[in-house]
Structure 1
Amino acid sequence: MTSALVNLNGPGGAHPLVSDLEAAGIQVLGPVGERSKLVQEVLRQAPDVVICQDPLPGDELFKALQLVTETAPCPIIVFTSDTDAGKITRATEVGVHAYVVNGYGAQRLRPLIHLAQARFVREQSLRAQVQEASSRLEERKVVDRAKGILMRARQMSDDDAFHILRTASMHTNQRLGQVSQHIIHSARFAEDVNRSGQLRMLSQRLVKLALLQLAGVQAARAKDLLKESVLRIDTNLVSLGKSLSQPTFGDLLGQVSISWGRLKLALQDSPDAGDMAHLDELAELFLQDAERMTSSLESAGAMPPLQMLNLAGRQRMLSQRFAKYALLHAMGGTATSQRSESGMAESQAAFEKALQYLNEIPLSSKEIRASLDKAAVGWAQMCAGVSGISKGKDPKRLEGLATASEELLDVFEQLSVQYERSMQMLVG
């Protein structure tokens, strides 16, 4: 039996609509007098049809019916005496399926209910079709974007990128759009982790370059690289500000920006030998803030490959940190000697442990393997050169350290990009 929830608005007393509906074989769930409770009753009783009787419907009725359409869609009939065309248009806009003017006729109740139900079914079908078409269009956009990421990452054709997506879709039993969205998500977090990780490295590189300038070793080049590093930090912070969620990462990014502002100001004052300890202290604070943000991004990405990217990116920082401490050891006095030696030892141990781990993990490719081999050679050469540096500020050995540290940095910069773009990273 068809059930109806009836809303009456008119003179008090019994209304023939309820008895006429019952006589027509319609189960009346109960009249609802207050418009404010209409949606609540529709949700509670789930009628087959909502029927309203109102001689002069107004905003209160139309707003209530709009809420019914949005929260619990069902066939809606309005009986009224109002012939205003504007009201008819409004009724259609809020989802009324039959707006009956000047009475209903008891014998017409069932056909009118059937009409409203048929229109409701048709309307829902059209909505579903529109939603499906919209979903397909959005999925196509997502797939095209994911293909673009794969094409740039691996220099492949459109067809090859689509084949990768389709294969991943079949293997993971996911829709093509879901796989594509995962790739987009992975690529975005990979870029953010890489940019944030660069800040860690640059914190150490800046001090290293300032020390080289102070020692007169490759001074002109060190000055240019220092300017480039400052610009690079500024650019990365702007990019991260646009990419990262403000509610999620805004506080971390804000703290990084504050610590960078202090370090940048100290660099602008052309620090001399007496300022190096303070400069290094500011760089360490900047490093800690950048490390905290990078780790949070890795965790938020919730993808194991991001750990590899973060680890490879951290090697950039450790290479510069090792070189920084070697320079401090060679140029500093007795007060800094012990701290520099301890810093070198810690950096070396962390670097070599991570390098061994990266060589053992399955996430690899021909290019990654070649870069890791090159990194091992470069690291061995830098360690050998550092072991011969004395506190006499030997310009030749210091110059060798400067060159070796930048060459090793280039290798790990390339390796970080390779991890970021690797197919295993993107497809997960």
Structure 2
Amino acid sequence: MTSCLVLCGSAPVAPTLEENLEGVGIHVIGAVQRSNLVQEALRQGPDVVVVQDVAPDAALFAVLALLRTTAPRPVLLFTTDSDVDKMKLALDSGVDAYVVNGYAPQRLRSLVHLATARFLHEQALREQLADVSHRFEERKLVDRAKGILMRARQVSEDEAFRVLRAASMHSNRRVGQVSQQVIAAAGLAEAINRAGQLRMLSQRLVKLRALQALGVGTEWAAELLRDSSSRIDANLAALGKSVSKATYGDLLDAVSAPWVTLKAALAMSADRQRTADADAQAEVMLLQADRLVNAFESNAATASLHVINVSGRQRMLSQRLAKQALLAALSGGDAAAAAGETKAAFEQALDYLNAAPLSTREIRESLDAAARSWTALNQALKRVRSADGQMVLTEASESLLAVFEQLTERYEHSMQILMG
């Protein structure tokens, strides 16, 4: 037997409506007020809601709209109000049958069935629309994921789709779900790489400023300073557009603040004190950029993105070591001692990367090149007291940086990273 809840705007007519419904075989669970319609619908689960209201208003339609989103049920409304605007509001709020000027008891059962049929029809249409929308959104995800794989691995569109489909079958997930994972992994990998560049550039800037203060390769250093500054601005802008401001906005601001001060310091002529002042701001920027990188990594679904962080940090350490050695030369200190901790950290990370299971032929080639460049940098470190040695050290650090730029990009675009 069909069950119903009755909502009446005028209490005296309620018993008549309830009796007529019972008379045609519709079981009336009970009569409710507007204030508890949704609660009672959830609790009692009627097959249909029958409303009788002489002059339905916005408050009633708001309750019915809430019912539609919370506990969808067929709604049949009886009224004497023939206003067309009210009819439109009723339809928008989820009324399935809007009956004007009363009802005849013999029509009640048919009207309940009509409201139910319209409700089921609308439900089916909404489900079809939702399915079409889902498939459309999934297709967009698949296309984006294919584009990422095509650019990263230089494969055809068909090959990229075969990779996605194989991963889908292997993990027993929809291709759309796998595609969403690829998109998320690519986004975080790029964010880690970009934030890691901010770490590196903070140290590279001071390295170049120290070289200027020593009076060595000043024009070359000035060109690289401009390039480094532009890269920081570009990376901050890209991160600002691509990552969630609610999640990472405060961390991005924390990197930007010392960068503003550091940029102003770099605009002044180079000497020992100003270089030291710039280094102090660069250290603050380094700390904040490191926190940003770690925040990106902590939000990754897999631990595989850690290798991008480590490889990217090697870029920073290559510049930090050269910076510390040049600052020591500028102040008359011991370069080897100043860079000792950085050197140990670099070698420890290099061992980690060599032992990491995430490897391809290209990655192995980059690691071999990194070992050779690292040896050259250590040899140059011994000559840092002379102007020629300072230039050789700087060039060696740039060569090592280029190797780890390439290696980090290869990790970022590796299939293991993108496919998790």
- Give the structure-2-normalised TM-score: 0.96
Write the distance in 2 (CA, Å) between the matches of 1:105 and 1:254: 69
Name the CA distance, whole Å, in 2 between partners of 1:330 and 1:61: 81
2:357 pairs with 1:362 = yes
Distance of aligned partners of 1:110 and 1:320 in 2 relative to their CA distance in 1, 3 Å threshold: same
Amino acid at match of 1:399: M
Extract unaligned runs of 5+ from structure 2: none
Give 2:379's aligned residue: 384
Q: CA deviation at 1:83?
A: 2.7
3-state secondary structure, aligned to 1:57: coil
How do residues 337-352 of structure 1 correspond to structure 2 at under 5 angstroms?
337=334, 340-352=335-347
Write the distance in 2 (CA, Å) between the matches of 1:399 and 1:112. Answer: 91
Q: Provide the residue aligned with 1:84 in structure 2.
A: 83
Corresponding residue of 2:22: 22
Q: Distance in 1 between matches of 2:338 and 2:169?
A: 50
Q: Partners in 1 of 2:278 and 2:370 — Cα distance?
A: 29
Aligned to 2:392: 400
Q: Percent identity?
A: 53
Aligned residue for 1:6, secondary structure, equals strand
**Structure 1 residue ranges (4+ consecutive) displaced by more than 3 angstroms after TM superposition:** 340-343
Partner-residue secondary structure (3-state), 1:55: coil
Matches within 5 A, 1:17-416: 17-32=17-32, 34-333=33-332, 336-337=333-334, 340-389=335-384, 391=385, 394-416=386-408
Distance 2:126 2:31 in 1: 30
Q: Which amino acid aligns with 1:395?
A: A
User: Structure 1: where are the runs of 5+ without partners?
Assistant: none
Larger mean Cα displacement after TM superposition, 139-148 or 395-404: 395-404
State how far apart, in whole Å, the 2-side matches of 1:89 and 1:282 are: 63
Q: 2:7·2:50 contact (CA, 8 Å) conserved in 1?
A: yes
CA displacement 1:121-162 (0-9 Å, x = unmatched): 111111100100000000000110111111110111110110
User: Residues 18, 224 of structure 1: CA spacing in aligned structure 2 closer, same or farther, 3 A cutoff?
Assistant: same
Counterpart secondary structure, 1:83:
coil
User: What is the CA-CA distance between 1:13 and the residue it aligns to?
Assistant: 6.2
1:11 CA displacement = 5.7
Deviates more, 1:302-311 or 1:322-331: 322-331
1:421 aligns with 2:413: yes
Instruction: Give the Cα–Cα distance (whole angstroms) in 2 for the partners of residues 3 and 13 of structure 1.
Output: 19
Cα distance change, pair 87–329 in 1 and its aligned pair in 2 (3 A): closer
Indicate if the aligned counterparts of 2:272 and 2:330 stay in contact, CA closer than 8 A: no
Q: Give per-residue Cα distances to partners, 1:273-304, cap 9 Å, x unaligned.
A: 23332222221111111111111111122321
Cα drift, residue 70 of structure 1: 1.8
SS at structure 1 position matched to 2:339: helix
Q: Is contact 2:188–2:300 with CA below 8 Å preserved after alignment?
A: yes
Query: Given residue 368 of structure 2, which amino acid in structure 1 is its aligned partner?
Result: D
Structure-1 separation of matches of 2:412 and 2:28 = 64
The C-alpha deviation readout for 1:383-423, integer Å capped at 9, x for no partner, is 0221243x3xx122222112111111111111111111111
Q: CA deviation at 1:327?
A: 1.5
The 1-side partners of 2:195 and 2:143 are apart by 27
Amino acid at match of 1:397: G
Looking at structure 2, the residues matched to 91 and 155 of structure 1 have their Cα atoms a distance apart, in angstroms, of 56
CA distance in 1, matches of 2:49, 2:14: 18
RMSD between aligned residues: 1.5
Q: Say if 1:278 and 1:341 are closer, same or farther in 2 by CA, change over 3 A.
A: farther
Note the C-alpha offset of 1:328.
2.2
Contact (CA 8 Å) 2:328, 2:338: kept in 1 or not? no
TM (norm. structure 1) is 0.94
Aligned residues: 420
